[in-house]
Structure 1
Amino acid sequence: MDLTRQRAHWIDRSTVVWRFEGPVGDRRCDLVFSPDAALQIIDGALTGPHETLPLRIRPSGLSTAQRQKWPHLADHAAFTVEADEDTIKYALRGQVAVTARDDGGWLLVVTGAQLPGVLDDLYADAVHVDLGCRFHDDGGVTISVWAPTAKNVALEWSDDGETQPMWRDDHTGVWRVDGDWGWTGRRYRFRVEAFHPATQRIETMSVTDPYSVALTANSTHSVVANLLDPLLIPADWATLRKPPPVAPARAQVHEVSVRDFSIYDRSVPEQRRGTFAAFGTPNSTGMRHLRRLADAGVTHLHLLPAFDFATVPERREEQATPQTDLAALPPDSPEQQVEIAKIRDKDGYNWGYDPLHYSVPEGSFATDPDGPGRTTEFREMVAALNGAGLRVVMDVVYNHTIAGGVSAHAVLDRVVPGYYHRLLADGRVADSTCCANTAPEHAMMGKLVVDSVLRWAVDYKVDGFRFDLMAHHPKANILAVREALDRLTPQRDGVDGRAILIYGEGWDFGEVAGNQRFTQASQHQLAGTGVGTFNDRLRDAVRGGQAFETNPRSQGYASGLFTDPNEDDVNGPPEQQRALLRHQQDLIKIGLAGNLATYRFVAASGATVSGGDYLYNGSPAGYCAAPGECVTYVDAHDNEILYDTLAFKLPAGIAPIDRARMQLLALSFTALSQGMGFVAAGSERLRSKSLDRNSFDSGDWFNAIRWDPAEGNGFGLGLPPSWDNEDKWPFAAPLLADPLLVPSAEVVEWTVERYLELLRIRRDSPLFGLATAVEVQDRVSFPLSGPTETPGVITMRLSGVEELLVIFNAAPATATQKLPDLRGGDFALHPHQRAGGDPVLAKSVFDPATGIFTVPARSVAVFTGSAPRR
């Protein structure tokens, strides 16, 4: 018997479900509630003033519709609640429990009840109510909050300390207060009085507005602000010209943190470094580089979380900095990470996957975090990036919050306790995503997701959304976002919602895995929706190993498996390596074809198979229905960045230029595949994080992009932080001490130029980024696939208005590929690669007499021309 756990589930106004041991028929079960939260268990008896509602067992259990909506509760006993709506609403504003007694009246079991289901049922019309701060054309202002379980809600003004009563709409559970435009700029919080299961008592909590549109510094108070206020709108915002819309299959995305981008860029005025405003510095080194990328074919800049997050002091003067000269320490020293550890909770750095307020720009990225000025600077950033030829993607993290319970950071859980988060069987908050998991399957959390996305799309003109851990969302929620965006029009809303990208992480794990609670927005289940997911199949094949490997020496296609063995036992003997490489090459081909479930090709075994039949860790390798649903990537902000991966995996002694060639080879798959290409910003210039695999809290020292070639590429900055890398230190230390692994400025620029050539090739050919699975099947082939394919070499043919032959050669020796069908054809190295001036790549040739293509070591060559007429 435990009131602190909620093992019963009140799923709608007439139904409670509960799993307990033993037969049900000989027990009397009741729902009990205490308006004053006075329930206690003393000497095995339930005490304290309370009221009782009898529960009647349903022999048939849940209905078919209920089982479909609550699959994880399908085997629970079901009971009918016999009470009118007013009584239920009254009960829900106090402490609720369920009891079981024997036929003699002795208490056998008592537990709390989870309430989200009944709240969604009773207050279903709340999803149609506008929440937060709304300005009206008649000069009025309304502030509203959904708090159906609250006994009372009032508005607290911080400027004069007064509270203002709010009135409750009993039909929707929404509390509101009306004022006028004179409230603009005032700072407020809600004072919510409600039962909280975390403390088992009625709490009076002061909390910011979950629908805040503006905040004070450090997010202590919400601010009344009108996002249509001319003072918050940059010049020409209403007539902002965006780069042309891009279909998902044609998109090329670069991912960067706002702070990483400019915090070490000396060409940016100091007060603007690490902020939104840095993107509005047109002649900075970083912005000049972004324009080069955009001119070559990058279409979108993906920003790591830029909404309000919890773990960074927002005022620059409050942020701690290292007190030691880190640059003076040895490249393999542990001292740098020790100094970072001292300040990591007080410095200005975090990736931002710790949401506080979903719909307000992050204050630490603003030159002045206090008030709505951050809104203006975010908009100016969007305008500047659009002007540079780039659309803007936001990384959104609706799957969890930084905290639950009564924590000062638990915004949602202090407004409607126990509702916004996903609860486990005993009522504890699930945390499989790392923090307090939210529950978008609950109507008002799902509404918050849609409303927030629309806020960014309409009021900030954001061009795309990357959903963190998207499979923790119901598929229906992500499709609701897509549908809401699709309804936006330039005439009515100022934006074309159909041009807005949606993609995310489709990883299937945790308490929702395998559709335990709902149909997930996971990789396989988003096929046919147009929503993109990251392709880990090609990623792992190119890099080698898996995302969370403990031995970082396991090799892949672009890191030397079989072709450049590093002699580590983790890779096995040569024949095992050869077999694995053949498997990796098949996975890469499926990825190059858009990771389509229906794409058919000849596998290494000699059999003709489809992407959906080919296996990756026991699951179908190909799962997309259209190429635009595949996000092809070889690195991102998490796990080691590409340069560091190759540093771990390639054998010692490889020259810097050859490491750069292998880096370029890996990146080529993001540029020359079907579907969306995705790259961690800086990988095109050999960016390193000194082997840090999870740098979310490692400070500027390990994360910042170093634009000045004299500062190196970020490699050899010391051993990465011990809190997430110490197990790899034995591998890392000798690498960090090797000066050969710090590329020269010339090698960095060489890599950038070669990468830009690949982007231009993609940009200028309609054969990259085909729209449909049928087109891909008809136009993309791998003519030398099968048992005799050369290890380390992949040949891809694209046919259409032009003929392209792409040869990826990961081997350390020149490769020759004979295609008899092309004898007598006319092929030459692509003009963009010929014009690049790489003397090694210039040796790529085609012999029409034999149909043999020759490509130098560790290179990717694109040939263009025409096939012979037969």
Structure 2
Amino acid sequence: MRIEAYIDDYTLLQFKIFKPVDVGCLSYLHLYRDNSEIAATFQIVKESSDAYMVKTTLPRPCKYGEVYRLMYKSQSEQHYFPAAKWRHIVATEQFDRMFAYQGDDLGPQYTKTSTTFKVWAPTANQVSLHILGRAEQLQLKSGKLLSKNTDGHDDFYIMERGNKGVYTVTVQGDLDLTAYVYELNFNGEHTTAIDPYSYSCLADASASVVLNPAKFLHNVYRPQSKIANYQDAVIYELSVRDFTMDPTSQVHDRGKLSGMIESNTGIYGRETAFAYLCSLGVTHVQLMPVLDFDSYKEADYYTSYNWGYDPKQYNVVEGSYLAKDTPYARVNDLRRLVNVYHQHDLRVNLDVVFNHVGHADDYAWEKLVPYYNYRYFDEEYLSNGSFCGNELRSEAKMLRKYIVDMCVRYVKIFDIDGLRFDLMGLLDITTMNEIAFMVKKIKPDFMLYGEGWNMPTVLPDDKKAMMYHNYKMPEIGFFNDCYRDTIKGKTSLDQIMDIGYGLGDVSKVQLAKDLLLGSCMNGKLRSLSQSVNYIECHDNMTFYDKMVRCENLDTFWRKQRTKFCLALIMISQGVPFIHCGQEFMRSKGGADNTYNAGDKVNAINWYDAIKNYDVVNYFKELVKLRRRYKEFRLPSNTAVARSCHFTEYYDILLYQINDLLIFINPTCYEYKYQLPGERHLIFADKLQDVPVKGELKIPPATVLVLQE
């Protein structure tokens, strides 16, 4: 007979009896607390194909340290089953009240003479610190450490259990660059965990590493331009790997963080990589995930591929993005990138994936506190709103604290300027608001935005950080999927033939008006800063590939439609968001979701930027237009209501903002409009100032901007 027993609440013990078994065996089962039998009545509550689930109510609430065991006792035999595991009891409010720790000293606290290690593991019976040795002396083979401790320290240190289940030990001496792991004992079951609060690790997260924070880069460069509100930003999304991996980038450290700051690169007299980025005029560069991910061994970088939306650690930078993987490079390479970008008036936002992890069983927090970290829609099945196998229980007090702590760390250590949250609708509202409160104390102009979809999770709808609850999260922006679907057309493969207003469907003009006003006049969003306006991001087909699939256009019309949609984004109220390559008609051969499709599909071919440099120049001029005229960056809903007006002229839309008059022609026909007096044409294909009067010609698929 095989039994697995679990403590699921302070007075609830449940166990599975695996088939084949006679349920009459329940009469021979006895329950023991430590070494004393306690009264228990067993009730079958569920049957599956392989087991029965049985529950019993404990006579009094259980306490930490007590061991509950079932014994089979008959006339012919008796034996104990393995001790009951603390399971869903850790997800109760009472558990958080008893054990949630609010100190700011978890992880290694380094000094030159000693290091104190603290780890939260309240359900462990014993925790030991295992010193592995100096990081540079350790080698890996097949993921296993080979060399033994050679630094003069003992291998193991028994840690002392303290308040709230925090285990502590202080090791004397200078432990800079010392590798370590935690060894945990749960009623005889042993496991090893890395430290979720360390600053660095060995390759593939095989061990954590102590660092001296005094050796972190601390140069602070402030961007020259001021960002009064989110609307002042122009966000440009890219992948560290994709941006420089192709040889046409002319970058030496291709696909690396260091390659992202190499200067003076170009081909045929045109800029590539960082030089190109600086030339665009955008304000914020959003880096797709750069924190440690789980897709492949870091040494296999050039033969494997993944975007990194499968987190391994939130506290450490991905090793395969380093030109040379050393413990300090995992801090300083990213910090150096941010420093250089700030010197060139570019801010840096990080794409973070706090909604799930790559492998649930292998995540450090799950090893430290089993069953605490994930949501379950049944006692045994993980909630999977992420569609990646698991989702983090952000509403748990210690997970919430951890997420907030990491966000604050990114600002303090890396000096970043914003965070984009993957599947933010799986996080809870309170966590998002706490993040906003903490990071904006450090940087008032810090940006926070994410995907606010309503995902299928067990988290109640009223707690989800989804777009519908924007009024509860005033500091958080949301990717405006209505903008994407209306201007470009739907993106899912089953609706890929749907065309939007930007591709000529004039029947969507009323929706387009709302979107041009930042979705704040129709009640969809609380404020302009919450509308992240986009038609392309790393997900789904590129805009160019969608356009090719939907319409049979020649090269001229493809360029014209690309320019037109770029213009709509840049003249809309709210926050413009551009995906790398959108401005030079990037193609992925029609592929939809290329997260693991490899460099051949994903790497930027910089010849495309040269081939379509007229579109690139048009985008640069749009950026100048937006940044020069505050009318495209109105500060409030009140200002929109006071300043913005629409008039329809046949299929042309006239959009007036104070003394600016914008002619929007989504059709494939030229229109003529009789101006009431002299105006100044300030934008056609570029910024200009040309007096115009009388008859104005409005070319097809064009945006013109005039000023009184």
1:805 aligns with 2:661: yes
Match of 1:389 among 328, 341, 345: 345
Provide, for residues 485-530 of structure 1, a one-character-per-residue CA deviation record: whole Å limited to 9, x for no partner: 1222xxxxxxxx21211000000021247x34x5211112122612
1:856 to 677, 695, 699: 699
Pairing 1:789-868 to 2, within 5 Å after superposition = 790-791=650-651, 793-799=652-658, 803-816=659-672, 823-824=676-677, 826-830=678-682, 833=685, 847-848=693-694, 853-864=696-707, 866=708
Q: For 1:231-310, list aligned pairs within 5 A.
A: 232-233=216-217, 237-246=218-227, 247-266=229-248, 268-270=250-252, 272-285=253-266, 294=278, 297-310=281-294
CA contact (8 A) 2:312 2:357 kept: yes
Contact map agreement 1:143 1:176 (CA 8 A) in 2: yes
SS in structure 1 at match of 2:635: coil
> 1:121 offset after TM fit, Å?
3.1
Task: Supply the distance in 2 between the matched residues of 1:666 and 1:807 (Cα, whole angstroms).
Answer: 14
Q: Distance in 2 between matches of 1:387 and 1:129?
A: 32
| 1:533 paired residue among 468, 473, 478 | 478
- Report the CA distance between 1:796 and its aligned residue: 1.2
Q: In 1, distance between residues paired with 2:116 and 2:31?
A: 38
Correspondence 1:210 to 2:69: no
Contact kept, 8 Å, 2:258 with 2:333, in 1: the verdict is: yes
Letter of the 2:176 partner, please give it: T
State the TM-score, normalizing by the size of structure 2.
0.85
5 Å matches for 1:734-773? 745-746=610-611, 748-773=612-637
SS of residue in 2 equivalent to 1:426 = coil
CA distance in 2 between partners of 1:529 and 1:458 (Å): 23
* Contact 1:464–1:502 (8 Å) recurs in 2: yes
Q: Is the 8 A contact 1:223 1:371 kept in 2?
A: yes
Is residue 557 from structure 1 mapped to residue 501 from structure 2 by the alignment? yes
1:143 aligns with 2:97: no
Contact 1:641 1:688 in 2 (8 A): yes
Task: Give percent identity, aligned residues only.
Answer: 25
1:452 maps onto 2:406 in alignment: yes
Residue 373 of structure 1, CA deviation: 1.7
Aligned equivalent of 2:596: 697
1:593-618 Cα shifts (integer Å, max 9, x gaps): 1111xx1xxxxxxxxxxx13xxxxxx
Query: For residue 379 of structure 2, what is the aligned residue in structure 1?
Result: 426
Q: Unmatched 5+ residue regions in structure 2?
A: 17-21, 42-55, 72-83, 134-147
Q: In structure 2, do the counterparts of structure 1 residues 183 and 364 end up closer, same or farther at CA, with 3 Å as the change threshold? A: same
Q: Which amino acid aligns with 2:706?
A: F
State the shift of 1:764 in Å: 0.2
Query: Is residue 173 from structure 1 mapped to residue 165 from structure 2 by the alignment?
Result: yes
Q: Deviations over 1:283-311 (max 9, x none)?
A: 12497665565565411000000001111
Preserved contact between residue 671 and residue 698 of structure 2 (Cα < 8 Å) = yes
Displacement of 1:371 in angstroms is: 2.0
Aligned match of 1:312 in 265, 272, 296?
296
Query: Structure 2 counterpart of 1:590, which letter?
Result: D
Deviation, 1:242, is 2.7
Cα distance in 2 for residues equivalent to 1:129 and 1:380? 26
Cα separation, 2, equivalents of 1:427 and 1:459 = 39
Q: Give how far 1:114 is off.
A: 4.4
CA contact (8 A) 1:466 1:502 kept: yes
- CA RMSD between the two structures: 3.2
Listed one character per residue, the Cα deviations across residues 441-466 of structure 1 (whole Å, up to 9, x for unaligned) are 00111011001111111011011000
Alignment partners' CA distance in 1, 2:556 and 2:527: 37
Residues 524 and 319 of structure 1: is their aligned pair in 2 closer, same or farther, counting only changes over 3 Å? closer
What letter corresponds to residue 134 of structure 1 in structure 2? Q
Q: 1:778 aligns with which of 638, 642, 654?
A: 642
Matched letter for residue 231 of structure 2? A
* CA shift for structure 1 position 5: 9.3
Question: Structure 1 CA distance, aligned partners of 2:598 and 2:486?
Answer: 31
- Normalising by structure 1, what TM-score? 0.70
- In structure 2, distance between residues paired with 1:152 and 1:381: 41
CA apart distance, 1:706? 1.0
Residue 766 to residue 176, structure 1, CA distance change in 2 (3 Å): same
Residues 452 and 467 in structure 2, CA contact (< 8 A), matched pair in contact too: yes
Report SS of the residue matched to 2:65.
helix
Structure 1 counterpart SS, 2:315: strand
Aligned to 1:355, what secondary structure does the other structure show?
coil
CA distance in structure 2 between the partners assigned to 1:858 and 1:689 by the alignment: 24
Taking the aligned partners of 1:293 and 1:857, their CA distance within structure 2 comes to 30
* Alignment gaps of 5+ in structure 1: 17-29, 35-39, 57-78, 98-109, 196-201, 322-346, 489-496, 562-580, 600-610, 613-622, 714-744
Q: In structure 2, do the counterparts of structure 1 residues 3 and 781 end up closer, same or farther at CA, with 3 Å as the change threshold?
A: farther
Aligned CA distance change for structure 1 residues 301 and 672 (closer, same or farther; 3 Å): same
* 1:625 equivalent in structure 2: 526
* Secondary structure at 1:158 match in 2: strand
Residue 510 of structure 1: which of 414, 437, 456 is its match?
Answer: 456
| CA–CA separation in structure 2 for the residues paired with 1:767 and 1:510 | 39
Q: Within 2, Cα distance between the matches of 1:113 and 1:830?
A: 64
How many Å separate the matches in 1 of 2:367 and 2:24? 28
> 1:46: how far off?
7.2
Contact 2:536/2:578 (8 A) holds in 1 = yes
Contact persistence 1:291–1:388 (CA under 8 A): no
Partner of 2:184: helix, strand, or coil?
strand
Q: Match for 1:829: what amino acid? A: L
* In structure 1, C-alpha distance between the alignment counterparts of 2:481 and 2:2, rounded to whole Å: 43
Give the match's secondary structure for 1:359. Answer: coil
Cα drift, residue 158 of structure 1: 2.2
Letter in 1 for 2:206: T
Three-state SS of the structure 2 residue aligned to 1:808 is: strand
CA deviation map 1:622-677 (0-9, x unaligned): x2111011100000000111111111112x2x221210110111122221111111
Task: Tell me, yes or no, if the aligned pair for 1:143 and 1:178 is still in contact at 8 Å.
Answer: yes
Structure 1 residue corresponding to 2:330, chosen from 347, 356, 374 = 374
**Partner SS for 2:116:** strand
Matched residue SS, 1:756: helix
Q: How does 1:393-432 map to 2 (within 5 A)?
A: 393-405=349-361, 409-432=362-385
- Whole-angstrom CA distance in 1 between matches of 2:568 and 2:458: 32
Who is 1:548 aligned against? 492
CA contact (8 A) 1:259 1:275 kept: yes
Shift of 1:817: 5.0
Task: Give the SS at the match of 2:409.
Answer: helix
Q: Could you tell me which amino acid in structure 2 is paired with residue 813 of structure 1?
A: Y
Q: Over residues 170-217 of structure 1, what are the superposed CA-to-partner deviations in whole Å (9 max), with x where a residue is unaligned?
A: 43111122124511111111112226xxxxxx5311121122210111
Aligned letter for 2:394? P
Contact 1:475 1:526 in 2 (8 A): no
Cα distance change, pair 756–269 in 1 and its aligned pair in 2 (3 A): closer
1:376 Cα deviation from its structure 2 partner: 1.5
1:473, CA displacement in angstroms?
A: 0.9
In the alignment, is the contact (CA less than 8 A) between 1:250 and 1:768 conserved in 2? no
| SS of alignment partner, residue 298 of structure 1 | coil
Higher relative contact order (CA 8 A, sep 6+): 1
Q: CA separation in 2, counterparts of 1:371 and 1:542?
A: 46
Contact kept, 8 Å, 1:166 with 1:175, in 2: the verdict is no
Q: Secondary structure at the match of 1:777?
A: helix
Q: Does 1:636 align with 2:537?
A: yes
The alignment partner of 1:479 has SS state of: helix
